[in-house]
Amino acid sequence: MGDQLFLERFIWFDHEVRRQRFPNAAQLAEQFEVSGKTAQRSIEYFRDRLQAPLEYDYCGKGYFYSDSDFQLPVTRISEKELIALLISRKLISDASAGSLSDELEHVSQKLGSLLAANLPGRAHPEDAFSFRWRTINPTDAEIFQTTTSALLQGNLLTFCYQAPSASSNSKRTVEPHHMVNYMGNWHLIAFCQLRNDWRDFLLGRMTNCQIEETAFAIQAKEEWQPLLQNSFGIYQNRELFEVSLRFTPERARWVKEEVWHEGQKEYIDDNGFLVRTIPVSHEAEIMMEILKHGAQVEVLEPEWLRNKVGEEIQGAMRNYR
């Protein structure tokens, strides 16, 4: 009865007792759809094994605490810790895009019950927080599970991959080292045996995943971490270049509140324009970021990127003539 008892039956029962609702075995049985004998055994377990000071009130036809200072063993954590757990659970659940949904739902219910029993206020904990992303590329739950298993076991992973720049799938065998959720999408950082180099694979583009029995040598974090931290965005190449952008005073009020990269440099010129310089590795993602600001931004450097953005804008104008 361990985990189920602590985080569901016992928390609910404790919640009812503290609100002086005098819960009993019949109510516990109805709440969790168990037999009356199972419910009574649960109450006895609460009282005898967990030393809950339960006493039966014959007028109220239920139980109360003879010692109001009693605390559940599982609730001896701070309010801040409980909230951190709930928000972390919500973040993982919302970002998984369907992966591990059943397991996370169980965790959600348990944390929600724990919070509801111990936090003041009337807001339902599960309804208090959420996360939103745009353009989510859904991850198949089975692929997510297979990938995480290979990562944690240190075994090779084989799958078919549809790169956006290719017209057909390619079979990859990789050494998985790290998973990152970027803007709601799960990415696998792995050493690709086909390309003989480190690669970033979007799980939503992977099919036919299989864990190989062959283990591989785990590489030092310094080998793959540059794919995550050296430059703006998730798309990475080996060589970095700096991009300088000038935003209008109107757009600057918004952009200056955003951190695009920890190594960004910026200043406000005499006319109120914001000039921001960031390290970039892949042109595709920075171009998408630039174009979404329309006429409110101008590329200053490098010249080749300025020309490329100009060509893209000219091409877009032809679509509307």
What's the N-to-C CA distance of the chain in angstroms? 70
Rounded Cα distance between 17 and 14, Å, is 5
Which CATH number describes the domain made up of 141-226? Answer: 2.30.30
Burial of 315 (0-12, 13-18, 19+ CB in 10 A): exposed
CATH code 3.40.50.300 for 2-75: no
Report how far apart, in Å, the C-alpha atoms of 261 and of each of 18, 187, 234, 283 are: 49, 19, 11, 15
Both structure tokens of 209 = 């995943």
Of 191, 158, 190, the C-alpha closest to 172 is: 158
Domain residue spans of the chain: 2-75, 79-128, 141-226, 241-319
Q: For 164-192, write each residue's pLDDT tens digit.
A: 777 788 999 999 999 888 877 888 999 99
Both structure tokens of 146 = 């297979």
Residue 261 sits at the vertex; the CA angle it makes with 312 and 98, to the nearest 5 degrees, is: 80
Select the more confidently predicted residue: 288 or 134.
288
Percentage above 90 pLDDT, the chain? 39
Global pTM value: 0.58
**What average pLDDT does range 13-17 have in this prediction?**
88
Query: Which pLDDT score, from 0 to 100, does residue 3 have?
Result: 45
The reply to whether 141-226 shares the fold of 2-75 is no
Q: For 34-88, write each residue's pLDDT tens digit.
A: 899 989 988 998 888 878 899 999 999 999 999 888 877 655 556 666 667 667 6
